[in-house]
Chains A and B, each alone.
Chain A
Amino acid sequence: MSADAKSTVRAIGGRAPDVFRRGNWVSMRHYADDEDIDFAIVGTGAGGGTLACKLAEYGFSVVALDAGPYWRPLEDFASDEQHQEKLYWTDERIVDGDDPIQLGSNNSGKSVGGSTVHFAMVSLRFRPEWFKARSKLGYGADWPLDWREMWRYYAEVEAALQISGPVTYPWGPKRPRYPYRPHDLNAAALVLAQGAEALGIQWTATPLATVSAPRGNSPPCVYRGMCVIGCSTNAKQSVLITWLPRALAAGAEIRDLAMVGRIEHNEAGRVTGVHYHRDGRWRFQRARNVVVAGYAIETPRLLLNSSTDRFPEGLANSSGLVGKNLMVQANQAVWGTMDHEIRGYKGPPSLAITEHWNYADDGKDFFGGYAYMSQGPLPMVWAGTQSTKRGLWGQSLLDEMEKYNHQVGLKIVGECLPQERNRVTLTNERDQYGLPIPRVTYSYCDNDKALIRHSLAFMRRSLEAVGANDIWDETDDTCHLNGTARMGSDPTTSVVNADCRSWDIPNLWICDGSVFPTVGGVNPSLTIQAIACRTADRIKRLAARGEL
């Protein structure tokens, strides 16, 4: 069972766990360490897992390495918040800055499939103008990508995950209807809807990566409400059960419990493979290309830790920007209680959303936007909010917790601006692999604070409009990490180009949320997967032209 997966390598000897059947296996291609494979991919989350699938399907030889275990959700996942903390990246990290980030749970994952194993499944497209935030909206930086091209890749990912969503989406340019019907709304979502209608703004059922009808080996979602601690029925369309089975079928090898600590390069300045720790020893996988897809902390950490005499500031870092421009998304909330029973623990936690303030620009005293969604925190998270955020303990905590089934909340995913002072660096402390542990420094800027103020005031009005009582603000939560290896069109102001290829080392690629120049006000996973699909197409084309 579960204890095994954390300590014992599962994907080995020509087979990998069958994620759809207890105790079962699927066959997996095996590559030797000294075989010069086309791509070694570090990380199997939204970026790396998607790219591994696409590249393998295009005929490249691929080994994808992940530091986390290879779960079979049906047999490994309990319905228990504390136990499922095993899905998080809990290796030590130091946080500082004016607004130190809380890590370890909602913004991390240490599993094959990455944090999509415990993500809230919210699958949103960027507002088109965000890809040209600097020139069209006056803040942040432009992406080297065109929104019309991204629109096609979003459609590809939405089809691959069979997203459940509304027939028509209220904001932005036309998009195809979502493949599966939207989910039923729970009471928490209806509170958002009623509030939005009272305030005269639009809302919709949230496009979610959990199926509303059977699909292959996935049964329809049965509204267990445990999505953010791992789906034990496989209704959730995580990378673990979508892209990775396809990757295996197409001939990719996936190595679990394989922590990459260093990327090697030759005298010509090209990378030659990765040093990784597995089964108690360090090994070296040769590769013609290396893709780093470890997310916004582990990606810069690996690049910085791979420094050599030739690249003393780390790999791909001639711009000096590796590790910089770390962006969180603001995750503030307004909470209240209703006379109605709400029981927000039922169903996916964010069944309704409004992106009004992502698309409306009038009346804002800040750049950027935010979405807000209905909430359904489980008891440990809710008690943590009441105690560590609100400061309650003793009888006052117990009294407040007793209102659990009547509480409602609205929570933002808010755009924070890129700032070079927000960054990932290495410390002198070492982790269990002997690698330097990262320091994550974060401070909001005035624009971020103005956005947060606006959102809290607006959401408060929404809760007031539906008759909620005892309304209070949760002012200091964050989610989703991005940036730290931004893409761009100029090698002096970016780390990779539009193809996620590093400017400095042509066979080193970065494919995850760290390439985001700006974050927008939506959850990033759909965009990360869309970028991975685009990168795979570009690699295929470059290879055909002999330009890899």
Chain B
Amino acid sequence: MSDRYPGYDVMAKRRSMSWNDQTRAVIDARLAIDPAAHRFFTETEWQTLRALCDRIVPQTIARPHPVPLAAMIDEKARANLSEGYRYAELPPLQQAWRLGLAALDGEAQARHGRRFHALDGLEQDAVLTAVQQGNVRNPTWRELPPKSFFKKRILHDIVSAYYSHPTSWNEIGFGGPTGPRGYVRMSFDRRDPWEASEARPGREAQARRENARVG
């Protein structure tokens, strides 16, 4: 992954006018999530879930706050935080995740004779692509339509969790929380001093200097 916004850290604004008290409380709690915490999933499910999260959103570069995706999914499932609607063909959130993780393992066994987390990355991606496209071999999927599970649970839950986290905002140059301070410079190629500066070719050093001043 390229470093498009070098040195930009949305957390540098934590004490600024861009954050109010309630935002600080919410984000502090998110940053305090223990990546090893799992109260809903069994050890077996947890192994599979962690391996799954690593493929859906690979976090290969060492960063101060890697996003604790599996723990976030565990908490979502434990609290049963559904979105307010359910496709008639899919079981409720908790049941869908339990069935789905078992089915992923079953699919990995059927194809490679090993559980999902024991496969290498390419093998895992092949299993996931098969599930996304509905080309599954394992009978477990009879209770759970693979394409819907992949889209509505795997992608929806894991990707939303990732992009709810400040670490991901740094990657994409999102300004993060605003309020009471908003923005002033709205037009093309304009940036307020409290926004991320992009390292376009030839201006990497300038971007890094500007990002160091964000606050």
Does chain A have a CB within 8 A of B205? no
B85 touches A101 (CB 8 A): yes
Does chain A have a CB within 8 A of B88? yes
Name the contact of A79 in the complex, choosing from B30, B83, B162, B178 (C-beta under 8 A).
B178
A-B pairs with beta carbons under 8 Å apart, 6 shown: A95-B86, A184-B186, A223-B184, A346-B183, A380-B164, A388-B151
Q: Which residue of A lies closest to B85 (CB)?
A: A103
B84 touches A93 (CB 8 A): yes
Q: Which residue of A lies closest to B76 (CB)?
A: A82
Does chain A have a CB within 8 A of B201? no
Does chain A have a CB within 8 A of B128? yes
A347 touches B22 (CB 8 A): no
Q: Which residue of A lies closest to B197 (CB)?
A: A341
Does chain B have a CB within 8 A of A224? yes
A347 touches B155 (CB 8 A): no
Q: How many Cβ-Cβ contacts under 8 Å join chain A to chain B? A: 202
B132-160: CB near A (< 8 Å → 1, else 0) gives 10000000000000000001100110011
Does chain A have a CB within 8 A of B40? no
B171 touches A402 (CB 8 A): yes
Given A78-B23, A93-B86, A103-B85, CB of A226 within 8 Å of CB of B160:
no
Q: For B176, what are the chain A residues with a Cβ–Cβ distance below 8 Å?
A: 79
Given A100-B87, A223-B184, CB of A78 within 8 Å of CB of B160:
no
Most A CB within 10 A of own CB, among B2, B4, B83, B177: B83
Question: Smallest CB–CB gap between A400 and chain B, Å?
Answer: 10
Does chain A have a CB within 8 A of B92? yes
Given A92-B86, A185-B186, CB of A225 within 8 Å of CB of B4:
no
Q: Which residue of A lies closest to B83 (CB)?
A: A104
Question: Smallest CB–CB gap between A259 and chain B, Å?
Answer: 15
Q: For A90, what are the chain B residues with a Cβ–Cβ distance below 8 Å?
A: 81-84
CA distance in complex: A391, B133 (Å): 10
Q: For A404, what are the chain B residues with a Cβ–Cβ distance below 8 Å?
A: 172-174
A387 touches B85 (CB 8 A): no
CA distance in complex: A232, B188 (Å): 26
Does chain A have a CB within 8 A of B189? yes
> Which 6 pairs from chain A and chain B are nearest by CB?
A104-B84, A222-B182, A79-B177, A90-B84, A103-B85, A96-B88
Q: Which residue of A lies closest to B20 (CB)?
A: A232
Name the contact of B160 in the complex, choosing from A2, A75, A384 (C-beta under 8 A).
A384
Interface residues in A342-397 by Cβ distance below 8 A to B read 342-343, 345-347, 378-380, 382-384, 386-388, 391, 393-395, 397
Question: Smallest CB–CB gap between A110 and chain B, Å?
Answer: 9
CA distance in complex: A233, B177 (Å): 13
A405 touches B84 (CB 8 A): no
Given A187-B187, A346-B175, A394-B55, CB of A388 within 8 Å of CB of B152:
yes
Does chain B have a CB within 8 A of A81? yes
Question: Smallest CB–CB gap between A77 and chain B, Å?
Answer: 7
CA distance in complex: A342, B83 (Å): 30
Question: Smallest CB–CB gap between A176 and chain B, Å?
Answer: 27
Name the contact of A75 in the complex, choosing from B18, B22, B152, B177 (C-beta under 8 A).
B22
Does chain A have a CB within 8 A of B62? no
19 additional A-B residue pairs with CB within 8 Å, beyond A90-B84, A187-B190, A388-B151: A78-B23, A78-B177, A79-B176, A80-B27, A80-B164, A89-B84, A90-B81, A94-B88, A96-B88, A103-B85, A105-B83, A224-B179, A232-B20, A379-B168, A379-B169, A388-B152, A393-B57, A394-B125, A402-B171
Interface residues of A (CB under 8 A from B): 1-2, 75-83, 88-96, 100-105, 108, 184-187, 190, 221-226, 232-233, 340-343, 345-347, 378-380, 382-384, 386-388, 391, 393-395, 397-399, 401-402, 404-405, 439-440
Q: For A401, what are the chain B residues with a Cβ–Cβ distance below 8 Å?
A: 163, 168, 171-172
B26 touches A398 (CB 8 A): no
Name the contact of B19 in the complex, choosing from A79, A81, A101, A405 (C-beta under 8 A).
A79
A103 touches B27 (CB 8 A): no
Question: Smallest CB–CB gap between A86 and chain B, Å?
Answer: 10
CA distance in complex: A429, B144 (Å): 19
CA distance in complex: A222, B180 (Å): 8
Interface residues in B47-93 by Cβ distance below 8 A to A read 55-58, 81-89, 92
B172 touches A402 (CB 8 A): yes
Q: For B172, what are the chain A residues with a Cβ–Cβ distance below 8 Å?
A: 379, 401-402, 404-405
Given A379-B168, A404-B174, CB of A92 within 8 Å of CB of B82:
yes
A440 touches B19 (CB 8 A): no
A405 touches B159 (CB 8 A): no
Q: Which residue of B lies closest to A185 (CB)?
A: B186
B186 touches A340 (CB 8 A): no
B4 touches A1 (CB 8 A): no
Q: For A105, what are the chain B residues with a Cβ–Cβ distance below 8 Å?
A: 83-84
Name the contact of B189 in the complex, choosing from A89, A340, A439 (C-beta under 8 A).
A340
Question: Smallest CB–CB gap between A298 and chain B, Å?
Answer: 12
B183 touches A223 (CB 8 A): yes
A95 touches B88 (CB 8 A): yes
CA distance in complex: A378, B182 (Å): 14
A346 touches B171 (CB 8 A): no
Most B CB within 10 A of own CB, among A2, A78, A96: A78
Given A187-B186, A379-B163, CB of A78 within 8 Å of CB of B22:
yes
Does chain A have a CB within 8 A of B191? yes
Does chain A have a CB within 8 A of B45? no
